Amino acid sequence: MKLYQRQISAVAATLSLFLCGVIYAQQSPAPQEKAALVYTAANRAPVPIPPSEAALQTVTAEPWLALADQRLFLEGAVFDRAGNLLFVDMFSGRVLKVAPDKSITTAVDKNKNAITPTGLAIHKDGRLFVAEVGDMATGGSIVAFSADGSGRKEIVAPSAGYFPDDLVFDSAGGFYFSDLKGSSTEPTGGVYYAAPDGRITPILRNLAAANGVALSPDGKTLWVTEYSRNILHRVTLASATTVAPVGTAIAYHFTGPAPDGLRVDADGNVYAAIFQQGRILVFNRNGLPIGQILVPGRDDGRFLLTTSMAFKPGTNEIYLVASDGDETRGATVFRTAGFAKAPSLFSHQ
């Protein structure tokens, strides 16, 4: 009898352990797969919008003029008094002119003038002022031409040692220009003011490849992009050649490559072309981001080389130039609308 009872007890204990195991197994979580990063629609593109800028008001520009059968690198977009859109092509060394009917002519030809143009501004007398970086070794120059491309005159000579990339006139007929020298670890570039009498005054030194320059509508604030450090500078001016006390500030740090040309509208908003991102980032007059313009095709790696834009006088229409890099080696002019109308420029006074 005792043996039978012991057997019963052993079976009961075994059954109890089995049931406990079943209950524990039911209560225990199932093994989970290891966590992994995954692509989404937001981060799969070659140039995803940074999270801090993703919620900005956004518009997509529309193609206006395609130049897809040529190897071009467009910069320096401006409008003249006749309503022609002009820009430079660094690769071919030309200044191109697009009439309102979209016919294209060459205003300045490298074969006659041997320039490597990167920036363009128009004097109120109609002359074309071209910033050209030269060979990026011995020095570039700023040269002026008549509207038809004749009458070349050196304004800033190569012997001065600058690599001029862009320029903007003030209301007195002087101009600010950027010196593209330097790198992120050796900032030897800067921004300078060239007075109408030819005197050159440094405004900002020790910049890493100074690139875009723009002036506020009242001429009291100078905006500068520093290409190799991804920075937007705001400079308050006491005079054309004097920075106001405590007048310099870094308004914005860009994410990814890399700030290029600048323009302002009549409200003082600042438009920065983002090279290699196919977009324009827009800031208010205090340097706070308020919007962006996207180039169609950027999510597929197309037309990422956005460099410059121009407001059509009397309107809020923006014409921006973008090259397609290695995809087709072509370029396109895109059109959209900004927050406000074009400012009053020296070229139209």
Tens of pLDDT, residues 127-171:
999 999 998 888 999 999 999 999 999 999 999 999 999 999 999
Q: Is residue 28 part of a domain?
A: no
Is the confidence at residue 20, as pLDDT, over 70? no
Q: Which residue has the higher pLDDT, 60 or 138?
A: 60
pLDDT for 328: 66
Cα 349 off chain centre by = 27
The tally of domains found in the chain comes to: 1
For residue 204, being part of any structural domain is answered with no
Using pLDDT thresholds of 50, 70 and 90, give the confidence band for residue 29. Answer: low
Residue type at 343 in one-letter notation: P
Decide if 77 is inside a domain. Answer: no
Contacts of 113-118 spanning 24+ positions with Cβ under 8 A:
113/143, 113/145, 113/149, 113/152, 115/141, 115/143, 116/90, 116/140, 117/75, 117/76, 117/88, 117/89, 117/90, 117/93, 118/75, 118/76, 118/88, 118/90, 118/164, 118/165, 118/166, 118/180
Q: Is residue 252 part of a domain?
A: no
Rounded-to-integer distance, Cα 131 and Cα 137, Å: 15
Q: Would you name the residues annotated as active-site residues?
A: 260
Q: Give 114's pLDDT tier (boundaries 50, 70, 90).
A: confident
User: Is 89 inside a domain boundary?
Assistant: no
Inside any domain, residue 332: yes
125 assigned to some structural domain: no
Measure CA 320 to chain center: 11
Global confidence as pTM: 0.90
Span 189-214, pLDDT tens digits: 999 999 999 999 999 999 999 999 99
Q: Is 282 inside a domain boundary?
A: yes
**Is residue 294's pLDDT more than 60?**
yes
Residues 164/141, Cβ–Cβ less than 8 Å? yes
